[in-house]
A and B are shown apart, each in its own frame.
Chain A
Amino acid sequence: MFYFIAKRSIISFFIMLAATTLMYFLTISSGDPFEDLGETSGPEKAATIAARTAAMNLDVPPIPRYFLWLQDVGHCLVPGGVSCTLGQDRTGAAVLPQLENAMGSTLRLVVVATVLALVLGVVVGIVTAIRQYSTFDYSVTFISFLLFSLPLFWLSTLLKQYLAIDLNTWLANPQFSYATIALIGVVAGVVWAVAVGGDRRRRLVVFGVAAVATALALYLLLVTGWFVDPGLGVVGMLVSAAGVAVLWTALLAGFRRRRVLNAALAAAAVGFLGYLASIPLLEDPNWLAVLALVVVMTAVAYVVAGLVGGPFRAQAAKIGAVIAVSVSLLIVLDRLLQAYPTLSAKAGGRPIPTTGSQSANLEGTFWEINLDYALHLILPTIALTLISFATYTRYTRASQLDVMNQDYIRTARAKGLSERTVLVKHAFRNAMIPITTLMAFDFAGVLGGAVITEQVFGWNGMGKMFVDGIQNVDPGPVMAFFLVVGTAAVLFNMLADIAYAFLDPRITLS
């Protein structure tokens, strides 16, 4: 293990070194760094040329220039050594502070999009595999092909021009006609009926229940003005916590063991009490306080659920911890939603922003600032998620189908295990192994996609640094961007290999 990591790190280091060389020479040969000065003249031109030459070391031949850049990077690797700047851009400003500014928003976008695409893609992929050759499977297959074929910049522009504007107009006066509510209900009913499947009668029942429930919920949300002043509230939190508990139990343990269900409900109660207790504590917290709350709640729920679980202590405790984490996410969501009315007012009643990664000079509480981040993330995240989602769905489906055809699944069924146990414990876990590799690849892809999304939505992130750098033939920012992206790619590949070996005991690291 240690030997493997050491070996891979050394190889990765040399690969990165070679890749930076390639990237550096591609960048400096991609054009003329003084091209934009072509039409100016006079003493300013000479001064700019002189300043740029000094900043970019243009008086040094390319190969020594690359080593000068390497030296700047080397300064960052030596702890406590000389100042770490990652070189200068063409105006002579140090690159590192720019990178630090730009990195936050880009990483936020990429991480959120990857996580969302992973979760949604895996869930939908599993369902399509279980219901292979159903209408649902065909629809999802077609939709993923469509998403594969969508140009990211086109989708982003479409979202920005149409979705955002219409959504903002609607949010200013959130009302639907009865016909619209009924239509949304019918659509939801069809989706559920197709996804659940079964014979005609079962599909009709599912359709009816889902359609009525969706329409009713939507009606209640509209009547109570939820879209103006959203949040879960005390009752909503109680219901959601119980729902989360039942859902996780159904998925992870089934309802045959009464003690486990009781333990799950106890964990949900712990979560709800935590919510009540945290109301005064979370007025204007910081990330540390939020994290502490999650950890404390999880620990308490783990212990309580374990005690209630009795003979099934281990299983009950695990489920309790999962429920506590879910409920704390709900608490965070609730808090963010509560900050919506004030933030919307600050944004002049147009809450969904179409440009930038955050509002300039926003003064507000912890929740308002984070909700502001989240609202800025909505559109670019949808664009990036949709495209990655297609990849994850297809791969998960293929992988799950592959596993379902294995002999050990037949054995599991033959010895009389419930379908849930077969699917969750025997099939799902093994189907997820190839997805780790996909994740490593996809993360780099999403980072590349962020370049385009940032351009469309006018973010000042790493992608903009890169595009501007390429256009100005300015290697400083380009290489800084690449250092982050390349390191991420190399690192994730290594982590994927290690994860692979952990998950699949047939593979040994060497």
Chain B
Amino acid sequence: MSNHQNQRDDSRASLELSEMTLQSQDTDIATATPTRGQTDRIRTTEAKSQGRLIRERFFRHKGALAGIALLALIFLLAFSSIGFAGLPGWWNKEYDVLAARFNEGRPTLTLWPFSLGEHPFGQDVLGRDYFALTMRGTQTSLIIAFIVGLVAMVIGTTVGAVAGYFRGWTEAFLMRITDVVITIPTVVIAAAVAGIVAKAGIIPFAIFLGLVTWTGLARLVRGEFLSLREKEFVESAKSVGASSVRIIFRHILPNTVGVIIVSTTLAISGAILLETALSYLGLGVTAPDTSLGKAINDNRSALTVRPWLFLWPGAFIIGIALAVNFIGDGLRDAFDPKQTRVKQ
């Protein structure tokens, strides 16, 4: 969104920077006389670490900031309203308690004047409070998405790093395994896996989803390793006798962190959509757990008369995925400024 702004800021910043450098050099020469201590105070440029540059670029990306704000809001709402893991929340209704339907179960949320009412998101067919249910589903979907992202990151990075660094038979073997998994469309392999573990609860379900969605990251990390392992700093690390583990973790991996973070972010937004799609097909989260996809699937038949049962969980799915995607875009720009180069 804010690329244009960024670009202008960038160029202005670099202009200022070069002017300042010139100035400070002048002062350096001018004051290259007895009073040594003064030069340090006059010097106006400051060294910026790589991390700081990335941070600054990221915080200039307005879409990414909006994404962070939205995601934080959703997190806060979902975990504070109905509570989590035994901790109570501020919302007074349970997601699994049946009650009499109030006004056909219509949502009581009004924006102006703002009031939540008895059932802000309405009630489902059985009279359960749909706000509590949606919050519960949001919790589940978020937990699943983050675990999937984490597992995919760990496996993808390890496989990619080992294959890219050691090459030879190891690489051939690992990459053929990646090819095998990649041949099966994600929805298909995830559906098959979901059949095995979905009944065991959401955590095993999420871990298994992570076990089948690491392939893209493995390929990217391997590509990075292939080029980095030929660099001089790896050569010099080898020459002073650093072990392979040390070279991989201390010397190469920090250089691939951008690729890893960006694709993990995108894997998380993919996982939200994957989990909800599987739950919608009836292959994902099973009762008594609920998720955003399951909520929509459960109320599929009541759609024409009670559209809010469909719209609210959908809005939360889109909100989460959109926020994560924007954060991913901001991170990509921050780690890889080449991509936002202006054309002539």
Interface residues, chain A, with chain B CB atoms under 8 Å away: 11, 14-16, 18-19, 22-23, 26-27, 29-31, 129, 132-133, 138, 141-142, 145-146, 148-154, 157-158, 161, 398, 401, 404-405, 410, 413, 444-445, 447-449, 451-452, 455, 466-467, 470-471, 473, 478, 481-482, 485-486, 489-490
Contacts and interface: CB of A to CB of B under 8 A. Distances in A.
B318 A153 contact: no
Interface stretch (B129-137, B237-245, B319-327): B319-327
B343 interface: yes
A149 B321 contact: yes
A404 B343 CA distance: 7
25 contacts: A19-B180, A19-B181, A22-B180, A26-B195, A30-B193, A133-B4, A133-B7, A138-B1, A149-B269, A151-B293, A151-B317, A151-B321, A154-B276, A154-B296, A154-B314, A154-B318, A161-B304, A405-B344, A410-B344, A451-B188, A451-B281, A467-B281, A467-B283, A470-B195, A473-B195
B273 A485 contact: no
A409 to B, nearest CB: 8
Interface in B300-324: 300, 303-304, 307, 310, 314, 317-318, 321-322
B281 A141 contact: no
Given A149-B325, A151-B277, A455-B281, A23 B3 contact: no
B311 to A, nearest CB: 9
Interface in B163-183: 176, 179-183
With a 10 A CB-CB cut-off, give which of B188, B195, B296 has the most chain A CB atoms: B188
A404 B341 CA distance: 10
A158 B187 CA distance: 21
B188 A145 contact: no
A490 B183 contact: yes
A29 B208 CA distance: 14
B318 A146 contact: yes
A452 B303 contact: no
Contact of B196 (A29, A157, A410, A467): A29
A478 B325 contact: no
With a 10 A CB-CB cut-off, give which of A16, A138, A151 has the most chain B CB atoms: A151
Given A148-B325, A445-B185, 4 more contacts: A149-B322, A153-B281, A398-B339, A467-B281
Nearest to A21: B180
A321 B269 CA distance: 45
B186 interface: yes
A448 B187 CA distance: 6
A15 B1 contact: no
- Give chain A's interface secondary structure class: helix
Contact of A452 (B181, B187, B296): B187
Interface string B324-344: 011001000000000101111
Contacts of A161: 303-304, 307, 310
Contacts of B304: 161
B204 interface: no
A452 B322 CA distance: 21
B326 A448 contact: no
Contacts of A26: 189, 192-193, 195-196
Nearest to A25: B192
A448 B329 contact: no
Interface in B60-82: 63
Nearest to A138: B1
A151 B189 contact: no
Contacts of B343: 129, 132, 401, 404-405
B223 interface: no
Contact of B3 (A27, A133, A153): A133
B184 interface: yes
Contacts of A486: 183-184
Contacts of B184: 19, 22-23, 482, 485-486, 489
Contact of B321 (A18, A148, A481): A148
A467 B191 contact: yes
Nearest to A146: B322
Contacts of B191: 451, 466-467, 470
Contacts of A31: 195-196
A31 B300 CA distance: 25
A455 B279 CA distance: 13
Contacts of A482: 184, 188
A194 to B, nearest CB: 15
Nearest to B199: A31
